[in-house]
């Protein structure tokens, strides 16, 4: 259980470090407005969009989990879905054009779309399902009570993950905005697309292994 929760937090830190989740947009917003207050406001909007994207993925799975008899099959299917997303991102390395059409002022909406387009929410599904399975004493819980508990867990997982993401991305944004500047960023830009795709595949494989072995 502790390992699964740490994985939720560490994946949030990993998402936050990835420029594709939006921290460069927060730096850009602060520089364009020439106000320090624009930076935390932009980070808050990015966090809101990411949080909603996590819930959009996790909540349907939380509502399915009351079908306890199909728990293993659901977890395996989720793992296969995550692996498929990773393989797709390995094959298709281009960023979705739709993201470029979103107005910079709509950061929450952009963050929501970016998280879903990159499979950020899917990455959490195997971890979330493992937490629900480890946390539920299905022999003594009614289906309705189990589902309520899983929905609350979905909110907690999304919140913990988003907080870690915002902390990591916000720290980088503050350092670049206050000290290093965009010139440094342009010279040291890092691309995590390949690492991201491989990570999705690994997380999906771990989810399938854990489900099949009863973890």
Average pLDDT over residues 11-36: 86
Domain-by-domain residue ranges, the chain? 2-212
Highest mean pLDDT among 42-51, 129-138, 139-148, 175-184: 42-51
DSSP per-residue string spanning 3-35: HHHHHHHHHHHHHHH-GGGSHHHHHHHHHHHT-
More confident residue, 38 or 140: 38
CA distance 209 to 68: 18
Over its C-alpha atoms, the chain yields an Rg (Å, rounded) of 18
C-alpha atoms less than 13 angstroms from C-alpha of 59 in its C-beta half-sphere: 8
Of 43-47, 97-101, 200-204, which gets the smallest average pLDDT? 97-101
Going by the DSSP 8-state scheme, the letter that residue 176 receives in this structure is I
């Amino acid at each position: 259980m502790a390992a699964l929760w740490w994985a939720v937090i560490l994946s949030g830190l990993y998402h936050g470090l990835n420029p594709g989740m939006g921290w460069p947009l927060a730096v850009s917003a602060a520089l364009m407005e020439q106000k320090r207050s624009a930076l935390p406001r932009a980070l808050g909007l990015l966090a809101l969009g990411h949080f909603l994207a996590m819930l959009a993925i996790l909540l349907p799975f939380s509502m399915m989990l009351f079908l306890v008899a199909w728990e293993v099959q659901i977890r395996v299917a989720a793992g296969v879905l995550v692996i498929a997303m990773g393989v797709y991102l390995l094959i298709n390395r281009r960023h979705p054009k739709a993201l470029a059409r979103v107005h910079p002022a709509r950061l929450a909406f952009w963050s929501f779309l970016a998280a879903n387009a990159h499979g950020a929410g899917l990455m959490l599904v195997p971890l979330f399902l493992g937490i629900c399975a480890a946390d539920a004493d299905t022999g003594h819980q009614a289906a309705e009570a189990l589902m309520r508990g899983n929905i609350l867990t979905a909110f907690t997982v999304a919140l913990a993950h988003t907080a870690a993401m915002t902390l990591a991305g916000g720290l980088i944004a503050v350092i670049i905005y206050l000290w290093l500047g965009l010139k440094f960023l342009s010279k040291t830009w890092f691309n995590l697309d390949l690492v991201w795709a491989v990570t999705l595949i690994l997380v999906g494989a771990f989810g399938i292994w854990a489900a099949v072995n009863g973890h």
